[in-house]
Structure 1
Amino acid sequence: MHPSCHRYHFSKSKKDVQFEQVIDIYIYFGFVIVLFILSVHLFPKTPVMNHKTITISSFSLFPLMIFSTCFTFASSNVLHRGSSLSVEEHDSDTLTSPDKTFTCGFYGLGGNDYWLSIWFTNSLDRTVVWTANRDKSVNGQGSKFMLRGTGLLVLTDVDGSVVWQTNTTSTDARSLELMNSGNLVLRSPDRTILWQSFDSPTDTLLPNQLLTKSKKLVSSLKGGAFYSGHFHLYFDNDNVLRLMYDGLDISSLYWPNPDFTVFENGRTNYNSSRFAVLDDTGHFQSSDQFQFNASDRGLGIKRRLTMDQDGNLRLYSLDKQSGSWVVTWQALPGLCNVYGLCGRNGICVYTPEPRCTCPPGYEMSEPTDWDKGCKPKFNFTCSKSQDVKFLALPNTDYSGFDAIYNSNASFNFCRQACLDDCSCLGFSYRESQRFCFGKSSLFSGYKQPSFPGTLHLKLPISMVASLEQIRNGSDPDCSEARDQSSEARDQSSKSVRWAYLYWFASAIGAVEILIFFSGWWILFRKRDVQSTLEDGYRAIRSQFRRFSYEELKSATQNFKGEIGRGASGSVYKGVLADQRVVAVKRLGDVYHEEEVFWAEVSTIGKIHHMNLVRMWGFCCEGKHKLLVYEYVENQSLDKNLFSGDYIEWRDRFKIALGTAKGLAYLHHECLEWVIHCDVKPGNILLDKTFEPKIADFGLAKLLRRDGANSQFSRIRGTRGYMAPEWALNLTITAKVDVYSYGVMVLEIVKGIRLSNWVVKREENEEQEAELTVFIREIKRRLQCGEDLGIEDLVDKRLKGKYSRKQARMLVEIVVSCLEEDRNKRPTMDSIVHQLLEIDGESKLPKSDNED
């Protein structure tokens, strides 16, 4: 148990309490000692972890399980009337939900400050999801959380003063329960809810917890404390769900995009209610018609939607094995879109990770706090124009505060207008559009290669300024300072724990010896466990990054061993210095501009989904442009489906479902709206369990949700899989991927290549394809209620071993995907829903007549 986490004790007679404390001490001592031995011997090289974060196989814990059966005690999820939870030096009881998912108690962050909180019991960092009275902590000793005899729930400090209480004074309250949902509920004798923590969220929304008109999520301050921060998720007065920055001296909305109307953002304000909810499968829906899905959508996963300290709203899923959290959706594609992230005068830059910096001539107001932004190193007065100069910051801008605006101005006009205005601190000019924006204040600055304008910063002519600090930046979360502070707290906590452990060892030496020999047996597995953990930490450290050309040349042995070739380039197998096996794609001459390439790749590198091939990094050195992907063992779907051993039905359905999930993520939930444009079996890779992973996504033009730049300059894709709109020169939308997916699924069902069904005349004009005739006939049978003849459609190599229900559903999906009118085609999101409904229908027929 973490030393800063203290559990409750019930108010009982002094004699009973003393007896229970003696028993609990012996139980606790034994438990702490065995985990101490395991932590010292099994995890000597891993970061400091308390015993709740240690994950050991059930086989390894067998001796401990035998021992613990003699010393078990129940952990309650109920606090009865007249009982209390206390912060005491050696007390370690807590309220725990029946399924052990959530824990409620006093949570400390170092020093003598404690908060009454609810947290995920088995997460690596004991992630807090709710806090009572977050803006005022209580003392580490003598503070209590009690359900009084009057039925009032109160939090008192060491002096007995009430620092927080529920909004009910009902005398009917009989018990306080921590539910499996994470909801802390005050009930009457007839089980009526009198108060619940779900009605007063802090920064986190849990599944089935309603967000309504009167509620909002407020981020914590940067630095790890629970105090209220500056970023809010709430329903605005127009009934639209929004993110707002409410800072020290300014407030501003920043999501959805404030430059667009409600309807352009895909929302509606024609709704009479305000509510939003995340369900158990990872689907979020709001009354303003905003919705999204977790990339790992499905039951059985612990999730949380959190308004993070950096201003981004993220959905997290808990990895049961490691106890760590994985981002499965986020509101903003990049942190530089968060308003006020770097404070007044600060600029957010991508390096490629988002970092804060001060513009030339400015410095941080406080060295460890970007909320305070930057301050000028000079004093500006209304100087003469000859005393002022402008420093050009390409691809840089500040949001708002446009004291001067002209939609058709020359550069010299814009410059002179800023010189003539004493309040003007600089101006933004877009040469191609002749847009001029003079800035009376510099707030929410950002630099990104795709921005078409240049910021001209007004500085004293005597000031020597460099653009170097704009290129480098620093962490907007000041993580280094935070990590040092955290390390200091850990060292302090460790010294306290050591003092306790020595006392424990001397008090119950006999128990220590017994447990020591039990633990010694476990040490034989030390090398395997330690090796596994080190591999995990290595993977965590090796995130998306930039590689040198020589590094990749060495990894691929001078680009030998080609494993694939496509329109965008050749692919080689390689082994990195950290022994990771990778696939290195050497791009052709189509990618010329380095800034465009850098911006495109940095976006793709942030896209993560189990059904997408993971990009580990890139290389961009002159003419050498390469992408580094994870290596997928079983090669592509076409090599498995059309040659060699046939694929079993269960794997075929898994491939159809997984591919649909990956495309749905790209189309609907991705950091950017990405259209693949070349969905085909050759771009679907299969891992060792035949889980599909979509390759080459993002190499087509990235499309923004606002629909800008939605025209493609040339046709991409493979003949046979291309939607009719390519030939008709229509605007390309995500429905081209839906069409290609339909062709591919038909190939999965039939087990033969269908893309060569296109018949041509001698003058090279396409006739009606055999595929079109086939689809028309299947559609007619569906409309007339006739038998589809599934037996004739499914791959004969399966010899009848397939699910007729799943096969029929796939054929129906194919028909809908191959509609010539793209508006009649379904979305990939709806296809995923259809397939999930029959995902469990994988039983093979017992006879030919089984339906």
Structure 2
Amino acid sequence: MDIFSQGCVRKKNLSCGNSSATFKDRFRMIPYVTLPKYYETVKVTSATQCESTCFNNCSCTAYAYDGTECLTWTGELLNLQQLSQDDHRGRNLFIKLAASDFPSDDQGQRNFLAHLQSRDNDLTNEDDDNNIDIVPFFSFESILAATNQFSEANMLGQGGFGPVYKGKFLGGREIAVKRLSTQSRQGIEEFTNEVLLIARVQHRNLVKLLGYCVKGRNEKIVLYEFMLNKSLDTFIFDQQNRALLDWKKRFDIIVGIARGMSYLHHDSRLTIIHRDLKTSNILLDEGMNPKISDFGLARIVQGDYTLANTTKIAGTCGYMSPEYMLNGVFSTKSDVFSFGVIILEIVSGRRNTGFYQCEEAMNLIQYAWRLWTAEKAITMVDESLLETCNMDEALKCINIGLLCVQEHPCQRPSMSSVILMLGGESMILPKPNQPAFVARTAISSKSTTSYTKNGLTITIEQGR
């Protein structure tokens, strides 16, 4: 056990108050220590607020937060003791240090911070608050401790970006740790996007960013709030778990996703296009409330400009709109298309891409359309919902889902209109036209297909 009874000595002055400083002060977590004396208690509701309080106070030298209480220190830090990991008295202490106090082998983190700041400045006016300054940085060592060295027992899932682990900091705070693999399709731009966007948006139906870590050239890690019930797809497509989501809960999930997407499209200062909305990116908390996650492919567009073009198609087959998949054109209406697919999947309990080698339809969209035109749409409702289903609501959701997946973007409703449709009991909904993807194609969701159309290289990869 190390004893620091004489206190800690600062090697270099902090940059607080120095607007010309290239790099901002940062916090280093000292795990498993007894906390110093003479602290102040600050009333906050999150770890981010606690850190922000200390960061913005030039006199504050350290803080600690255990999920319920925020403690801050000014001046010297006295009577510190380093304890063993098994000692229940140990707490995590975050000490404010100058950026130059961090090891030189952490140059990758400093480069990333500068890149992050540059990207943020491109999107921020001088009078706007800059949230990037208070995005918590976590040391790689603290994440190793929280995840038990990234043990397989703590792995929550595996995607194209890499594994996600469950972690726990001292004090019991549970976290989800997204660790990008070196072979990940998500590079520095996508990683920057993820940190930048989630730091700038706050909504009850969007996952919360807790911090990030960059170490060297290969380690890129994002920390999120932990979602007890994992993702939506693990319920609606599982023969046993689907029974745990009755109709009311599924309808509430649909409404929650719509509210989160409406915020991204219409209510935040910048229009944000997700570009990879799917059931596996909808996380569920302990109350089964949906939270949209994975903003690596998201794009920000200024003001009313909601149409963009790319030569790099990156998304998940079955959820991509036709104009994006075939021509690289995306807009808020591309997200609306993805949302329409999700509605149909939630109502039916079937994957859009689960109809291959099936005579009844090429995909869920065509299946729903055939039943709709035959006035038998209610028969597509998941059998596990028959006892709890509100048939009028179910038909309304199918109607809205088909409106969202129409061929032409201009015919699809906005997400704000979708919310009105979902909430209006006596509202007469428009009748959908024939949706996209109603003719069988050779595209398979289990392979990677590349081809060129009008000089544009299209790559359709298996979903992450």
Q: Give me the TM-score of the superposition, normalised by structure 2.
A: 0.58
Q: State how far apart, in whole Å, the 2-side matches of 1:45 and 1:674 are.
A: 39
Q: Deviations over 1:521-571 (max 9, x none)?
A: xxxxxxxxxxxxxxxxxxxxxx74111212212211111221112222211
Query: What SS class does the counterpart of residue 200 from structure 2 fall into?
Result: coil
What's the counterpart of residue 616 of structure 1?
210
Q: State how far apart, in whole Å, the 2-side matches of 1:825 and 1:448 are.
A: 35
Give yes or no for the alignment of 1:808 onto 2:403.
no
What's the counterpart of residue 773 of structure 1?
366
What's the counterpart of residue 606 of structure 1?
200
Q: Deviations over 1:347-403 (max 9, x none)?
A: xxxxxxxxxxxxxxxxxxxxxxxxxxxxxxxxxxxxxxxxxxxxxxxx9xxxxxxxx
| Structure 2 contact 164–179 (Cα < 8 Å) conserved | yes
Q: How does 1:147-226 map to 2 (within 5 A)?
A: none
Match for 1:804: what amino acid? Answer: M
What's the counterpart of residue 278 of structure 2?
680
Give yes or no for the alignment of 1:689 onto 2:287.
yes
Among 125, 141, 147, which residue is 1:550 paired with?
141
Q: Deviations over 1:38-96 (max 9, x none)?
A: xxxxxx98669xxxxxxxxxxxxxxxxxxxxxxxxxxxxxxxxxxxxxxxxxxxxxxxx
Rate the CA distance shift 1:816–1:558 in 2: closer, same or farther, 3 A.
same
Query: What SS class does the counterpart of residue 826 from structure 1 fall into?
Result: coil
Match for 1:773: what amino acid? Answer: Q
How far 1:814 moved relative to its partner? 1.1
Among 246, 252, 273, which residue is 1:648 paired with?
246
Q: State how far apart, in whole Å, the 2-side matches of 1:449 and 1:656 are.
A: 33
How far 1:621 moved relative to its partner? 2.4
Match for 2:338: what amino acid? Answer: S
Q: Give the structure with higher Rg (CA).
A: 1
How far 1:696 moved relative to its partner? 0.7
Deviating beyond 4 angstroms after TM superposition, the runs of 4 or more aligned structure 1 residues are 44-48, 449-452, 589-594, 596-600
| Structure 1 contact 618–626 (Cα < 8 Å) conserved | yes
What's the counterpart of residue 830 of structure 1?
417
Q: Percent of counterpart pairs with the same letter?
A: 35
Rate the CA distance shift 1:597–1:705 in 2: closer, same or farther, 3 A.
farther
Among 610, 629, 633, which residue is 2:228 paired with?
633
How far 1:626 moved relative to its partner? 0.8
What's the counterpart of residue 318 of structure 2?
720
Q: How does 1:27-38 map to 2 (within 5 A)?
A: none
| Structure 1 contact 574–582 (Cα < 8 Å) conserved | yes
| Structure 1 contact 612–693 (Cα < 8 Å) conserved | yes
Q: State how far apart, in whole Å, the 1-side matches of 2:356 and 2:214 are.
A: 39
How far 1:652 moved relative to its partner? 0.6
Rate the CA distance shift 1:731–1:556 in 2: closer, same or farther, 3 A.
same
Q: Deviations over 1:213-263 (max 9, x none)?
A: xxxxxxxxxxxxxxxxxxxxxxxxxxxxxxxxxxxxxxxxxxxxxxxxxxx
What's the counterpart of residue 657 of structure 1?
255
Q: Deviations over 1:596-651 (max 9, x none)?
A: 85576234212111111111111122221111000011111111112223111110
| Structure 2 contact 270–302 (Cα < 8 Å) conserved | yes
| Structure 1 contact 603–672 (Cα < 8 Å) conserved | no
Query: What SS class does the counterpart of residue 266 from structure 2 fall into?
Result: helix
Q: How does 1:288-687 map to 2 (within 5 A)?
A: 448-449=118-119, 544-560=135-151, 561-589=154-182, 590=185, 593=188, 597-598=191-192, 601-623=195-217, 624-643=219-238, 644-645=240-241, 646=243, 647-687=245-285
Query: What SS class does the counterpart of residue 227 from structure 2 fall into?
Result: coil
Among 695, 703, 710, which residue is 2:308 paired with?
710
| Structure 2 contact 255–422 (Cα < 8 Å) conserved | yes
Q: Deviations over 1:19-48 (max 9, x none)?
A: xxxxxxxxxxxxxxxxxxxxxxxxx98669
Q: State how far apart, in whole Å, the 2-side matches of 1:451 and 1:611 are.
A: 26
Q: Deviations over 1:723-757 (max 9, x none)?
A: 11233214111222211111111111112223223
Rate the CA distance shift 1:564–1:703 in 2: closer, same or farther, 3 A.
farther
Query: What SS class does the counterpart of residue 165 from structure 2 fall into?
Result: strand
Q: State how far apart, in whole Å, the 2-side matches of 1:694 and 1:625 are.
A: 21
Query: What SS class does the counterpart of residue 263 from structure 2 fall into?
Result: helix
What's the counterpart of residue 385 of structure 2?
798
Rate the CA distance shift 1:592–1:669 in 2: closer, same or farther, 3 A.
same
How far 1:588 moved relative to its partner? 3.5
Query: What SS class does the counterpart of residue 716 from structure 1 fall into?
Result: coil
How far 1:778 moved relative to its partner? 4.7
Q: State how far apart, in whole Å, the 1-side matches of 2:142 and 2:339 are.
A: 37
Rate the CA distance shift 1:587–1:691 in 2: closer, same or farther, 3 A.
same
Match for 2:225: what amino acid? Answer: E
| Structure 1 contact 674–697 (Cα < 8 Å) conserved | no
How far 1:796 moved relative to its partner? 1.3
Rate the CA distance shift 1:685–1:812 in 2: closer, same or farther, 3 A.
same
Q: State how far apart, in whole Å, the 2-side matches of 1:709 and 1:587 are.
A: 29
Q: Deviations over 1:318-357 (max 9, x none)?
A: xxxx9xxxxxxxxxxxxxxxxxxxxxxxxxxxxxxxxxxx
Match for 1:711: what amino acid? Answer: N
Aligned residue pair count: 302
How far 1:688 moved relative to its partner? 1.5
Rate the CA distance shift 1:577–1:802 in 2: closer, same or farther, 3 A.
same
Query: What SS class does the counterpart of residue 666 from structure 1 fall into?
Result: helix
Q: State how far apart, in whole Å, the 2-side matches of 1:680 and 1:656 are.
A: 12
Query: What SS class does the counterpart of residue 710 from structure 1 fall into?
Result: strand
Rate the CA distance shift 1:588–1:735 in 2: closer, same or farther, 3 A.
farther
Give yes or no for the alignment of 1:734 onto 2:332.
yes
| Structure 1 contact 674–698 (Cα < 8 Å) conserved | no
Higher helix share: 2
Rate the CA distance shift 1:448–1:836 in 2: closer, same or farther, 3 A.
same
How far 1:825 moved relative to its partner? 0.8
Q: Which moved more, 1:745-754 or 1:693-702?
A: 693-702
Query: What SS class does the counterpart of residue 797 from structure 1 fall into?
Result: helix
| Structure 2 contact 166–176 (Cα < 8 Å) conserved | yes
Q: State how far apart, in whole Å, the 1-side matches of 2:247 and 2:188 are.
A: 45
| Structure 2 contact 336–404 (Cα < 8 Å) conserved | yes
Q: State how far apart, in whole Å, the 1-side matches of 2:204 and 2:263 are.
A: 10
Rate the CA distance shift 1:749–1:619 in 2: closer, same or farther, 3 A.
same
Return 5+ residue gaps in structure 1 as ranges.
Answer: 1-43, 49-321, 323-394, 396-446, 453-474, 478-542, 761-767, 782-786, 840-851
How far 1:476 moved relative to its partner? 9.3
What's the counterpart of residue 191 of structure 1?
none
| Structure 2 contact 348–382 (Cα < 8 Å) conserved | yes
| Structure 1 contact 759–770 (Cα < 8 Å) conserved | no
Q: State how far apart, in whole Å, the 1-side matches of 2:306 and 2:400 are.
A: 30
Rate the CA distance shift 1:747–1:577 in 2: closer, same or farther, 3 A.
same
How far 1:705 moved relative to its partner? 3.5
How far 1:654 moved relative to its partner? 0.6
Rate the CA distance shift 1:574–1:828 in 2: closer, same or farther, 3 A.
same
Rate the CA distance shift 1:724–1:759 in 2: closer, same or farther, 3 A.
farther
Q: State how far apart, in whole Å, the 2-side matches of 1:663 and 1:622 are.
A: 35
